Structure formats: C-alpha cells, structure tokens
Amino acid sequence: MHWYVYMPFRLERHWEHLELVEDTAKWYSSEGLNGVHVNRSAFHKAWAEAQQAALKAGWDGAMVGKALVYWLPADQGFEHGFVWRQGNGKGVLVSPVALRHLKPRDRRQRSSAPQAPCVIS
C-alpha cells in the first residue's frame, strides 16, 4: 500500500476524539463489532508500513505519547490512517489516500503547492 506522509502536521486540539493504535489493535484482535470480521494481521502490517513510510519521509523515529488511528470514508467502508507526535513535538500524519489540502512530505513525490480541497454542496 502507498502511504502519504504529512510533516510537520499541526494538530493542537481534539486528539481525544481519536483511538489509540493499541486500542484499535485490540479491537481487531477480538471478534470485531457486532460480529463483523476484521483482519488483525492487515492492521498490524499497515501500522508497520506507515511507520516505515514516515521514516523515509524524514520522521526522527521518536514518538511522544502514543500513536492514534483516524478513519476516512472509502468506496466500501472506511480506511484508517495514523497520526502521532515525533520527538521534536511536531505531528506526523500518515494517510492511505492523498489529502489534497495538505502538502505531502513523501520525497518520491514532486513538491507542489497544496491544492484546495474539493467542496461538494
């Protein structure tokens, strides 16, 4: 899976609305919600890949506090991404989809000005 890395990512408030990676992993380790099958190994693999992508993009490898999971709508449900603070206190956000309103830190992509998000009314 390709990951989009955004650094530094500023998130000063509302961290409490996100789940810890370890709590989400426990949920995946159980039978899921209302008997819905979940793939525990795919979640652990995604978390490891997200960390590797962040390292390649310049993450310092240190984590302040605990990593969190956020959810994005997808065609057939939801995709998860990860966010955490690195050693210098600045945020790292790793997404499975491009977030056009943010500028990626992925060194393999061209640097360009961030695009405005598409708004549908």
Amino acid at 70: Y
Distance (Å, whole) CA 64 – CA 49: 19
Asked if residue 40 lies in contact with residue 29, where contact means CB atoms within 8 angstroms, the answer is yes
Of 19, 16, 18, 41, nearest to 28 by C-alpha is 41
pLDDT number for residue 106: 46
Note the pLDDT tens digit of each residue in 38-66. 677 888 899 999 999 999 999 989 998 89
What are the angstrom distances between the C-alpha of 85 and each of 8, 63, 78? 9, 6, 23
Per-residue pLDDT at 119 exceeds 80: no
The whole-number pLDDT of residue 46 equals 92
| pTM for the full predicted model | 0.75
